Every structure is written in C-alpha cells, then in structure tokens.
Amino acid sequence: MGPVVSKFINELSKKPRIERFSKLISGLRNFNKTDQKEIIKELESVMKAMDKNELKGALTVGVFEEIKRMIEDRKLGSDNDYLLMKCIGYWKAMKNIVICNFGKSSLCKRFELMIFEEMNKKEGKNEKRLIGLYESYYLLSDDSIHENLAPIITSCLLKVASDKEESPETEKEVEMALLALSEGSRGILVKGAQHLQEITRIIFHHNDHRNLTQLAFQCAWRFMINNWNSNSNSQIVVVKYMNFLTVVKRELEELAKCVDWKREDEEKENSLAEPKATQIIVRWLDVLGYFFIMCNKWDDDFYELVRFIVELFRTARDNEQEISEMCAHALKMLAHNENSSVDAFEKCGVLDVISEELQQLKLENRLASDCLSIYLQIVRRLSNNSGDETDEEKRKELKRKMFEKLEEEGLEDVITSFHETLEYNQSYYDHSLSLNIFDYFVNV
C-alpha cells in the first residue's frame, strides 16, 4: 500500500463507520487504479463491521450517484467499477438488506448500458468483466431488473454455477454466482422451465457430492423457492421429492452449532462482523417465511421443522435479535396461511413461545407486532367452524387450551397493555393487526 493511500485510510479510521464509508467512496476518484483496489479492500472491512442498520443507512441514492459520476468521468480504473459494486452488493446481500436506492439512482441505468455495451462487442469481449457486471447488477437490484437482461443473466450465472471443475479455486466463483441469482430472484421471476431444471440439478448434485458451501446451497434453494410455481404439482416436487423441509431443518441445525449463543454484546461489538453462520440462518428463515405463506402441502417433516424454529426462537432471544425476529416472521407467515394445520401451533410449541415473548416485550417493537399478529391469526382461525368433524374437534380442543392459557398466564392483561400502541404497530409493522382489543381474546 502506497504512503498516500495509507495516510488517507488512516485519517478516516477514527470516524463513524457510515461517514468512513461515504468518504472512502468519494475519495476513490483521487487515486490510481492500484490504490483504488486498496480503498475497495478497506471499504469491504468497513461494511463487514457494520450492522444491518448502519449499512442500510450508508447505501443512499447519493452514494450511487457519486459512483455513477466517477464512472462517467473515467475516474474508476479498469474493472474497479464492477469490483466496487460487487463488493457493496455482496455485503448488502449478507446483511439481508432490501433497499431500492440502487434502482432509484441513475447508476442502475448506467450499469444496464455498460452490460449491453459489453454484450454487443464484436471483438474483445471480456467474459470475466461481463460476469462481474451481471453479478453486481443482480446483487444490487431488488426491484429494478431489466426484463430483457433477466433471462440472459440468469442463464449465464447458472452456467457459472454448474459448469465448473470442483476445486477450492472455483468454490468462491460458484458461491458468488448463486448469491447473485438468489438476490436477483427477488426482483423478477425466471421464464422457462430450463432454469428451474438447472437449479434442481445443482441442488441434487450437491446432495450427492457436497460440492457447495453452506451459503451457496442456501442461495440455490432461495432461487428455487422464489421462482417455484405454487401449483399442486410443483409443491409436491419440492416438499415430497426434494425434501425441502428436511433439508432446511438439517441446514439450520448444522449452522446453529457454529454460533456462539452465549456471546456477550461487548464481544459482538468488538468483533469485525457477526459470524457467517448467523447470516445464513437469517437467509434461510427469510426463505421459509415466503414458503410458509405459499405452501399448502404439508407432511410430518413440517412439524419437526416448526418445532426446531420454536427452539431456535428461544435460543436466539437473548443476544441474536435478528434471528429471533426472523423466527417470529416465519411463524407469522405460517399463521397467515389458511392451509397450515390448525393444531400445529399448539403441538409444536408456537403458542408457548408466543406467550413467553408477549410477557416480556416492549410495546413499540417489531417482535411485539409479529407475536400479536400470530396470536390474532390463531384466534381468528379458531373462531371459524370447520366442516370436517376431526378438524372441528381439534379446533375446540385448541380453543379450550388457549382460553386456559389466557387465564393462567394473565395473557389478557398482557395483550390489553398493547392496546394503546396497536395503531402504531399496525401503521409501521403489520396492517392486518386488529385495532379491536376483543378480537385477541378467546371465548369458549
């Protein structure tokens, strides 16, 4: 590292991380190509150390506009444009951030133009640069993917992920391609069965050869679930043939073993970043939320997975807030699915963990909103008579247990304490929350 760039980086070392991020970006234009690579490395370490809210606050439209001006002024060295954007996109994805500021900025259109220009070169096309542009674009585009680019980029990145000799050298390339595909699948559904067939082949190949990293495997499944057809046949394939529920439980169990659940807040603050395992757990739970609201095909593995999520919820509540919030989010999606089993909430311990949470939550809190939403949805479903005699007996039994829990644990008073903040929670977190406090009570 040269003395000038070293001095520049050191001068910023004591500043708050968001300010350091912004000044490192704007300072890139003052250095040569080699020094810019050192600044990009420093940017990566800053983003790695940021928490989710810090990085979200740093990724402003203004930052993307500044990068666009540097590209147009030719102030970014060759390939440093996509390397910078891929670095930002990687950490945006790993912090599980959904933000539309890239799409709102003129950098998005500029990137699309750069992609088209590289694609249409008759001579001297740079495949490495093109793949880097593809990955950067997908990693950053939450809702702004050009419909003519989507099939081309998807096909190319699937090829990168599958047509590789299995070696440590290519493992990172495969992981990055699948991460980009999983992020891009937020913004546009793939057209054509061949893309889903290819991702299915990648998943089955991993089951046989264990050739993907834990993150890459999660990304392959995220791409699959975000693009699956919710018709009956597709659900049978995913649930029965591909054993999705069993796979998720296995992966979550393995990842949970890698997390130091007793880590103190001070230790977490002093570490460079939260462990990768916790980030992948959050990503799995995000996928499960979408799966739970869409699926209507359940088997015995479903109950085992829900039980594990309940236990993960309890384990994470003390010092892994994002994991506990994502557990609650996944369970909320399940509660909103009218096709989920009505007795699963009692049988798998959902009612117990929600009861525990409601008795210790702050009033204006996303977790409080999700727990109330789960509770409300269960009460609403129990208020409707079932046409099936067996289900009707289960409904009455669960209704009785919920009524007893209300009385024994004082939940009626706990829920009443949320009454004055229900409108706040409805406005900011969950519009489906009822403002009528009596809707939350069970009458037998």
In a domain, 107, yes or no: yes
Does 67 fall in a domain? yes
Residue 364 lies in a domain: no
Domain count, the chain: 1
The answer to the question of residue 167 being in a domain is no
| pLDDT number for residue 270 | 47
Kindly state whether residue 342 falls inside one of the protein's structural domains: no
* Interval 358-411: pLDDT, tens: 888 776 788 889 999 999 998 888 887 665 566 778 778 888 888 888 888 888
Q: Is 1 within the bounds of a domain?
A: yes
CATH of residue 14's domain is 1.20.930
In the predicted model, residues of the chain with pLDDT beneath 50 are: 270-273
Gap between the Cα atoms of 46 and 20, Å rounded: 8
State the pLDDT at residue 164.
65
Domain range spanning residue 95? 1-144
Residue 41 vs residues 24, 130, 419: alpha-carbon distances, Å:
10, 21, 49
**Can you say how many angstroms the Cα of residue 436 is from the centroid of all Cα atoms in its chain?**
32
Residue 175 lies in a domain: no
Burial class (CB in 10 A: 0-12, 13-18, 19+), 265: exposed
Q: Which two tokens stand for residue 313?
A: 């919820």
**Could you give phi then psi for residue 343, rounded to 5 degrees?**
-90, -5
Separation of alpha carbons 248 and 218, rounded Å:
9
Domain assignment of residue 210, yes or no: no
Q: What pTM does this model have? A: 0.92
pLDDT at 11: 94
